[in-house]
Structure 1
Amino acid sequence: MDVLDPEQLTPAARRILDAAAVLFYEQGITAVGVDLVAERSGVTKRTLYDRFGSKQQLVAAYLLERDRRWRALVEQPYRDAPDPVARVLAPFDALETWLDGATRGCAFVNALAELPEAGHPGRQVVLAEKQWLIQLFADSLREGGFAEDGALALQLMCLHEGVLSLRGTAPGVDAIAAARSAAARLLEG
């Protein structure tokens, strides 16, 4: 079964995915069973399996929906950026909105830690998201006329991912401002 497209959900599937999103993020993917997701969404386990096929597919749909929301949040300031530097920094600017209320850091990194199987469909969604972001950095650097051999895109990715890790481990630290400032300095050099 292919990963269910979150944009093509029935009302019951939407309730399932919404409940799963909260539970998976707050409690962890492996800690949450389909019984709890079904209960919280007000459906039977049979309905959950009819809509998603398996917990693996539900996890993948949850991550795919997060990925789509994240990309949309980054792409708007990226398109609207007034100059090449602002375009490169767009993923940092999106973090403030994205992380509002986030208590456990990056759902993608958390999922990657919980999904060690290379063939898990959720793991594939996470890896694709990370690859997309580093490619976005590389493309924006190239389009902006920055000397780019891959190292600068990787450095920006490391700064960006550091913010996501610190959000869960060092609350109260303004990691977004620190990383954005460091990224801007890298672009000056």
Structure 2
Amino acid sequence: RARRREQRRRDDAVAATERSLNDQRLQLAVVVEKLQAREADVKSREEAVFEAGRAVAVAEAAMSKKVERLGDADQRLAKAKEDLESARRDASEALDAAEEARRKEEDTVKTLKHLETEIERAKKRLKDAVSAAEDAEAVFEHRAAEAEKQFESRARVAEARHRACAT
């Protein structure tokens, strides 16, 4: 009888230990599942940051093109100024040449004004694009930092729970 009682007591202790281990396994599975969800969330946020980086690169490429166009406009402006001076020199040679030079001067002035207006618009668009790109980058950096803080906090809580369950 004493052997049976001892055996029953051992069996009960083993069953209680197995139940406790099963409970801990379930809790650990829940913690692992939550961590995997957090990792997926962090990964999606990292992908969002990567996409934002791509958008910034596209904006930079667009800005480079605009800068190139501004350079071309400056060259055209310099060329137009040279043409204007040439027309003024030709105007002193004869009346007919003077009339033609006046027409060229008027056309060139219109072109210059148009180019200056376009240059100012392009500069404003460039400034707006840079500002928007910087704002987008700051927002995504902030979001990534917040996600990382949240993940670390939740990981600590999960680890503390796991330690609490293990003891």
> Scaled by the length of structure 1, what TM-score is found?
0.24
Q: Which is bigger in relative contact order (C-alpha 8 A, separation at least 6)? A: 2
Q: Which has the larger radius of gyration?
A: 2
> Scaled by the length of structure 2, what TM-score is found?
0.26
